[in-house]
Structure 1
Amino acid sequence: MNCKKITALLPMKAHSERVPNKNIRLFNGRPLFHLITETLEFCNAIDSIIIDTDSDFIAEDAQKNFSKVRILKRPKALQGDFVSMNDIIAYDLEMTKAEHYLQTHSTNPLLTAVTVETAIENYFNAIEYYDSLFSVTRLQTRLFLESGTPINHNPKELLRTQDLPPVFVENSNIFLFSKTSFKRAENNRIGLRAKMFVMDKFEAIDIDDEIDFCFAEALYRIRSIEPVKETEELSK
């Protein structure tokens, strides 16, 4: 593992539109945000976890339970459901002194420390060629536009799905970037020369709605405690 250190950004707001109190709702008996925070604490490459929040409860609870956590109180200008995440990150970068950052979400409870550490290692190993890294999920299925036009296949050939050219879905689990690359990309966490990092699809579950929450919790309870499938790396 590269010896360089990373500052983790874990933004969390109090309000959640689709799943009420999502960040603090009990997930297998613990507040949801505890799972990803604990994962980040386990990563040796991460020296601090910045929780940017407008919730007094989250701020107090996080500082009480996690040693690496620092709190940034989110200003009113950046509160609400329609604020761009890149605007929040820009504020966090302005308020911190690190050069390299990892940003993730409390809604990624199945993300493991092994995968985070592997992504960080990939990021630093490729830093001469890529300015950032983001996690994706491989997708091999027949895709169509709303008009019915096929995107990635010829309906007349009907190839097996495993033989289709893969496409990749940004899964919102891991974003790695530097303060410099963020600014060069006009305040974007995905830089001008970004590297894709392929993750196992079950580990990459991101909770957006009630069904996601129930599915992630059920999978968390039944999955093996052994390390998840080996992650892949893909250059973009």
Structure 2
Amino acid sequence: MTEIVAFVPMRHSSERVPGKNYRPFAGRPLYYYIVETLLNCPQISLVCIDTDSPTIMEDAATQFPSVKLLERPEHLRDGATPMNDVLLNSVAQVPADYYLQTHSTNPLLTSATVSQAITTFLDQSEHDSLFGVTRLQTRFYDAQGQAMNHDPNVLLRTQDLPPVYEENSNLYLFTQKILEERKNRIGSNPLMFAIDRDEAWDIDEEIDFRVAEFLYRDRQSQ
């Protein structure tokens, strides 16, 4: 059986949305949602929280006893520390065939979507890793005002434009070897896994928090 360990890295401090990882979201701490999503995925063998937050360490030990807690070392706690360095420290402590990484800031991501991503990846052999993307069909320009994905002289409907894909930070699947050799979660031949926009909202700023909470409450009312 393939062993998949899921990592959820969380810092105690957050610059743009203070305390966002444990801030109340629809009545409960934000991080509860992604942890429950991962715990409900049958393919995931173990869920790990990597954090420097005493608040999260204490609360998670009580609320999620099956989750493994990894205290982030001091030299990896700065906000400018690359996520790949944090992950290298984590995978060295927990062996697995594959690692799945997501964020507490993806509260709309569902267990069904995570499971589908895992199954899609394991059922193929061409790609060495997977990352979540959001399909976009809109007119893009570069910083010089040059059209990137369309001809301004041919005003196609946006739905007829060739799609582009945004890395949405919702989901990564990789091996320890890829992470160590490339210093990256994304391998040399990754599989892009499209996630619907209503699930792929990533909380980075205050407006993201408000929109995601609205979408979550709307989903629950249906």
Q: What is the TM-score normalised by the length of structure 1?
A: 0.91
Deviation at 1:123, TM superposition (A): 1.3
Deviation at 1:225, TM superposition (A): 7.1
Structure 1 residue 18 corresponds to structure 2 residue 16: yes
Deviation at 1:56, TM superposition (A): 1.3
Q: Which residue of 1 aligns with 2:186?
A: 190
1:103-136 Cα offsets, whole Å, 9 max, x none, are 000000000000000001011112x211100010
User: In structure 1, which of residues 115, 118, 130 is the aligned counterpart of residue 116 of structure 2?
Assistant: 118
- Whether contact under 8 Å (2:2, 2:97) holds in the other structure is no
Q: What is the TM-score normalised by the length of structure 2?
A: 0.97
- Whether contact under 8 Å (2:3, 2:97) holds in the other structure is no
For residues 133 and 142 of structure 1, what CA distance do their matches in structure 2 show? 26
- Size of the alignment, in residue pairs? 222
Q: Identical aligned pairs, as a percentage? A: 50
Structure 1 residue 208 corresponds to structure 2 residue 204: yes
- Whether contact under 8 Å (2:21, 2:104) holds in the other structure is yes
Q: Which residue of 2 aligns with 1:217?
A: 213
Q: Which residue of 2 aligns with 1:141?
A: 138
Q: Which residue of 2 aligns with 1:74?
A: 72
Alignment of 1:36-55 (within 5 A): 36-55=34-53
Q: Which residue of 2 aligns with 1:62?
A: 60
For residues 47 and 62 of structure 2, what CA distance do their matches in structure 1 show? 14
Give the letter for the 1:137 counterpart: T
Mark the runs of 5 or more structure 1 residues left unpaired by the alignment: 227-236
Instruction: Tell me how large the CA RMSD over aligned residues is.
Output: 1.2
For residues 146 and 26 of structure 2, what CA distance do their matches in structure 1 show? 42
Deviation at 1:224, TM superposition (A): 5.5
For residues 74 and 174 of structure 1, what CA distance do their matches in structure 2 show? 21
User: In structure 2, which of residues 91, 98, 105 is the aligned counterpart of residue 93 of structure 1?
Assistant: 91
For residues 169 and 212 of structure 2, what CA distance do their matches in structure 1 show? 15
User: In structure 2, which of residues 159, 164, 178 is the aligned counterpart of residue 162 of structure 1?
Assistant: 159
